[in-house]
Amino acid sequence: MIVDNNLAGIDSAGGLDAESKEVVAELVDVLTRNVGRNEKRRRYFEGKVRPKTLGISVPDNVRLETSCSWPEKAVMSLANRSCFDGFVGSDADKLMAIVAHTRLVDKYARALPSELVCGCTFATVTQRDGRAQVNYHSAETASGLWDNDKQRISAGLAIIDGRKSNVDDKYKPSIVNVYMDDVTWVLVRDGSRWSAQAAPHDMGRPMVEPMMYRADVSKPFGRSRITRPVMALTDNYLREMERVEVSAEFYTNPQRWASGLSDEQLQALVEDKWKYVTGSMMGFTDNPSTGDAPTIGQFAQMTMGPHIDYINSLANQFSGVTSIPVSDLGVVQSTYVSAEAVQTAAANLCIEAESLNCSNQAALDHIAAMALAIELDGEYDDMLEMDYTAHFKDPRKPSLVAQADAMLKAIQAVPKLAQSDYSLEQLGISQADIVRINGDAERAAGIAAMVDFEGEL
């Protein structure tokens, strides 16, 4: 989404106090400074980039439609291994209704690619008719300020609504929310003017939480999965595909040569060279000027091998940068690859997914605490002390047979695991199905107890 940079006047919206105006101005500055960066990576993700040509092997006036899905693969291969599955813990049942009516599992899956493309995405928590609402906003339409002392976001901004301009196809914001420790400001555009409306709260923190990929002290809002090496390798691949297309034309039609032709024969050859390229037979008479017979030959046929080797080299470099198996990049291996070898190749990607899940788990726990504070009319800090945590499916995605075998051995070693939902989680059973299984088991136990009671009577 291309966002209109012109948010002029929003930090002077009527109703904002002086401190809030400064915060809004800083948030808008962060958003607009990162628009170009995020837009660039979005174009790589969607395969819409056209790299600068070198002008050596392919003329500048020859531009072919080529695209590369490797950046999308870099994002989605990791996103597909981060599967949020609800919350676990003794107090997790209090969250089940919230997860269901906010569609949090589905929203997480749809927000995760934006987190990996831009480095972070923002989850906002609001109250509507006494119920908590959770929505995600891409860093293309949201921004935040980081508080190093509190190690959390100190303020956030999210574009809630807007429209596309018919002139430049940019998204023009009309409603913007600004989230602060004790108030959420709703900023509404009316023509060129902005007005602010305050929605006070007692959460004690902004009702927005960022999910960040590979965040550290120097980049608290994370890094994009589409790094500079990823973009450079993508450019190299696109340029190589243009060279391949041009070379394929020469490969399809071998270059021939002729000497000793008369002027008339040479003119006929030039004017109707396609006839001589496609014809199965060519005929030339002796040159009347010299009496010599024409000589016909063909240059040695070029090979596509060097191009294929270079593409394979780029794929191996891309695999090393992103931890994606080479086979997932569309490169055919010349030797047989076993299932164990494929698992080994994906091991680093699974490590990346586990790190991503760990980071997002903390963010989801804070989102859940804010939602619980709204639903239960409690204190945010008290909600954080409850026994629950976000649960993710195993990023290795083992088969059901392998999971069952491993769990059977674990239960034999530690029998009390059989009485815990942990064993069901390790079998890959979703939290919704675990609730259903436990409910059916309790129902069956109740029926059995009733039958035994009637039998005693």
Rg, the chain, Cα only: 32
In the sheet that holds 208-212, the strands lie side by side as 131-138, 120-128, 208-212
pLDDT of residue 2: 46
Tell me the mean pLDDT in the region 216-221.
Answer: 93
2: its two tokens = 């291309």
d(CA 246, CA 405): 54
Q: What is the DSSP letter of 416?
A: G
Q: Name the residue with higher pLDDT: 255 or 453.
A: 255
What number of other Cβ atoms are within 10 A of residue 88's Cβ?
18
322-326, 334-338, 363-367: the lowest-pLDDT one: 334-338
Question: In this structure, which amino acid lies at residue 11?
Answer: D
Residue 19 scores a pLDDT above 50:
yes
Is residue 411 one of the residues assigned to a domain?
A: yes
Is residue 159 one of the residues assigned to a domain?
A: no
Are the C-beta atoms of residues 256 and 298 closer than 8 Å to each other? yes
Tell me the mean pLDDT in the region 86-105.
Answer: 90
Parent domain of 403? 398-457
Pairing mode, strands 84-88 and 389-392: antiparallel
pLDDT of residue 241: 83
Distance, first Cα to last Cα, the chain: 71
d(CA 366, CA 151): 13
d(CA 161, CA 348): 39
* pLDDT per position as a tens digit, 341-369: 667 768 889 999 999 999 999 999 999 99
Is residue 438 one of the residues assigned to a domain?
A: yes
* pLDDT per position as a tens digit, 127-172: 988 899 999 999 999 999 999 999 999 999 999 987 766 655 566 8
Most confident of 94-98, 203-207, 329-333, 453-457: 203-207
415: its two tokens = 């029998």
Q: Using DSSP, how many helices (H) and how many strands (E) does the chain show? A: 15, 12
11-15, 205-209, 370-374: the lowest-pLDDT one: 11-15
Q: Which of 148, 144, 126 is nearest to 135 (CA)?
A: 126
Tell me the mean pLDDT in the region 240-266.
Answer: 71
Is residue 89 one of the residues assigned to a domain?
A: no
Q: What is the DSSP letter of 324?
A: -
Is residue 122 one of the residues assigned to a domain?
A: no
Is residue 162 one of the residues assigned to a domain?
A: no
10-19, 38-47, 67-76: the lowest-pLDDT one: 10-19
21-30, 81-90, 421-430: the lowest-pLDDT one: 421-430
pLDDT of residue 133: 94
Give the model's confidence band at 307: pLDDT under 50 very low, under 70 low, under 90 confident, else very high.
confident
Give the model's confidence band at 247: pLDDT under 50 very low, under 70 low, under 90 confident, else very high.
confident
| Angle, alpha carbons 98-100-102 (nearest 5°) | 65
* One-letter-per-residue 3-state SS of 160-195: EEEEECCCCCCEEEEEEEEECCCEEEEEEEECCEEE
Residue 428 scores a pLDDT above 60:
yes
Domain total in the chain: 1
